[in-house]
């Protein structure tokens, strides 16, 4: 059975405390002068936490911001407009636990001929235990991993993100977690299968699914960029964020974690800075397969880069999608 690095949520949060005090190698490279004028930026899970802070930051820097989420529509969008002083902010409904909403969302963008320059795959959930979706998968597996595959394949196949003729090239940023480091190899016997579990396995799965996500991002880049970089696909962990990520934890645990968050986790606007840096700085223009842990460039878990792992994950994911998603379209083979 696959396992992530942590099984105890308090221990996982204390690792975040260590990150809070860590050196931020490239922090001085962050610049308010890196603008996003004329760019269209899509952010998933933009109604809350890091995603919300990113929406404000990109709107302030002149981007047209497309906020995708399942709640606080239109309140969160109105708040972003107010905080940024920008009117080019819109909110779209997207529930990553409901596959049909992904297809509807991408189709509505395609119908309006929207072209995304920067796509930030930020939404994720940390559930205290298993929950089965209407399509039969574990909710965390679907939201934190598989729906990102469906969304990216859809955006590419409907040309909402285009590979050709964009100068500078379009970008995709996967928001991950450094807690993926040390997770086990992907377990293909249980891949996509629903089974019941509680808090410890939930925490373990959260970091394990980030390893799965990073492996997909790496393989996507390998396939798209085999003859030179056509799409910049990078991964970033924002470090500890005082967000709503633990909102579904049992009361006592939630209060404990919120206490830790309040004291030593970064505010969402502060945590967003490294993401804005990676998305807009000339330092990362035209790059792919790079990883930042906050402002620190480093390698992801070595398993993420194994070619066989990437190929196997790709094949298994496409097979699974063929069986659960009638509208599945694979963009790259
Ligand atoms: N917090 C941390 O310390 C930390 C550390 C490392 C990495 N991260 C990563 O940072 C990213 C942002 O998390 P956060 O800390 O800002 O937490 P957050 O405030 O809970 O934000 C998560 C966002 O994802 C959305 N989401 C959850 N399930 C969804 C679904 N089924 N469909 C669509 N959207 C859904 C949430 O929407 P609702 O409000 O409707 O639930 C929310 O907008 C995540 O990828 C997380 O893994 C966080």
CA–CA separation, 105 vs 119, rounded Å?
14
pLDDT in tens, 209-250: 999 999 999 999 999 999 999 999 999 999 999 998 888 888
Does ligand 1 come within 6 angstroms of the Cβ of 19? Answer: no
- How many Å separate Cα 1 from the centre of its chain? 24
CB atoms within 10 A of CB 315: 11
Query: Which residue's alpha carbon is at the smallest distance from atom 8 of ligand 1?
Result: 177
Tell me which DSSP letter residue 136 carries. Answer: S
pTM of the entire predicted model? 0.96
Bridging pattern class, strands 291-293 and 296-297 = antiparallel
pLDDT in tens, 107-158: 999 999 999 999 999 999 999 899 999 999 999 999 999 999 999 999 999 9
Average pLDDT of the segment spanning 170-195: 95
CA 118 to ligand 1 centroid distance, Å: 18
Query: Which residue's alpha carbon is at the smallest distance from atom 11 of ligand 1?
Result: 122
Q: Which of 19, 43, 49 to mutate to test the pocket of ligand 1 (most atoms within 8 A of CB)?
A: 49
CA–CA separation, 157 vs 109, rounded Å?
12
DSSP string, 275-331: HHHHHH-GGGTT--S-EEETTEE----GGGG-HHHHHHHHHHHHHHHHHH-TT---S
pLDDT in tens, 50-109: 999 999 999 999 999 999 999 999 999 999 999 999 999 999 999 999 999 999 999 999
Q: Which of 5, 50, 97, 294 to mutate to test the pocket of ligand 1 (most atoms within 8 A of CB)?
A: 50
pLDDT of residue 333: 64
CA–CA separation, 107 vs 110, rounded Å?
5
CB atoms within 10 A of CB 175: 24
- C-beta of residue 326 within 8 angstroms of C-beta of residue 100: no
pLDDT in tens, 285-310: 999 999 999 999 999 999 999 999 99
Query: Which three-class secondary structure string do you get for 267-291?
Result: CHHHHHHHHHHHHHCHHHCCCCCCE
pLDDT of residue 154: 96
Does ligand 1 come within 6 angstroms of the Cβ of 47? Answer: yes
Average pLDDT of the segment spanning 202-208: 93
Does ligand 1 come within 6 angstroms of the Cβ of 238? Answer: yes
CA 5 to ligand 1 centroid distance, Å: 19
Does ligand 1 come within 6 angstroms of the Cβ of 310? Answer: no
| Of 199 and 303, more confident | 303
Tokens representing 204 are 């373990």
CA 245 to ligand 1 centroid distance, Å: 6
CA–CA separation, 322 vs 58, rounded Å?
36
Bridging pattern class, strands 64-69 and 40-44 = parallel
Average pLDDT of the segment spanning 27-37: 96
Reported as a pLDDT band with limits 50, 70 and 90, residue 168 is confident
Average pLDDT of the segment spanning 190-194: 94
């Amino acid at each position: 059975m696959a396992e992530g690095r942590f099984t105890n949520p308090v221990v996982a949060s204390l690792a975040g405390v260590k990150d809070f005090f860590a050196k931020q190698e490239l922090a001085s490279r962050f610049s308010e002068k890196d603008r996003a004028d004329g760019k269209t930026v899509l952010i998933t899970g933009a109604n809350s936490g890091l995603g919300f802070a990113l929406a404000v930051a990109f709107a302030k820097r002149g981007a047209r911001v497309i906020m995708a989420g399942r709640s606080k529509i239109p309140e969160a969008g109105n708040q972003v407009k107010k905080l940024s002083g920008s009117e080019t902010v819109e909110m779209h409904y997207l529930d990553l636990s409901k596959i049909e909403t992904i297809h509807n969302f991408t189709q509505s963008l395609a119908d309006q001929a929207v072209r995304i320059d920067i796509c930030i795959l930020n939404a994720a959930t940390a559930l205290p235990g298993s929950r089965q979706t209407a399509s039969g998968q574990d909710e965390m597996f679907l939201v934190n991993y598989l729906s990102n595959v469906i969304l990216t394949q859809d955006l590419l196949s409907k040309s909402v993100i285009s590979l050709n003729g964009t100068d500078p090239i379009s970008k995709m940023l996967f928001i991950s977690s450094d807690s993926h480091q040390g997770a086990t190899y992907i377990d293909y016997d249980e891949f996509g299968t629903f089974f019941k579990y509680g808090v410890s396995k939930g925490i373990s799965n959260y970091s394990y699914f980030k390893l799965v996500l990073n492996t997909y991002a790496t393989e996507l880049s390998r396939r798209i960029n085999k003859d030179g970089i056509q799409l910049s696909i990078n991964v970033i962990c924002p470090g500890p964020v005082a967000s709503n990520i633990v909102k579904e934890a049992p009361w006592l645990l939630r209060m404990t974690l919120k206490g830790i968050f309040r004291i030593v986790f970064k505010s969402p606007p502060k945590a967003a800075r490294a993401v804005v840096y990676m998305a807009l700085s000339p330092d990362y223009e035209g790059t792919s397969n790079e990883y930042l842990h906050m402002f620190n460039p480093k390698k992801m878990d070595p398993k993420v880069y194994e070619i066989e792992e990437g190929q196997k994950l790709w094949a298994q994911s496409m097979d699974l999608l063929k069986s659960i998603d009638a509208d599945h379209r694979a963009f790259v083979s």
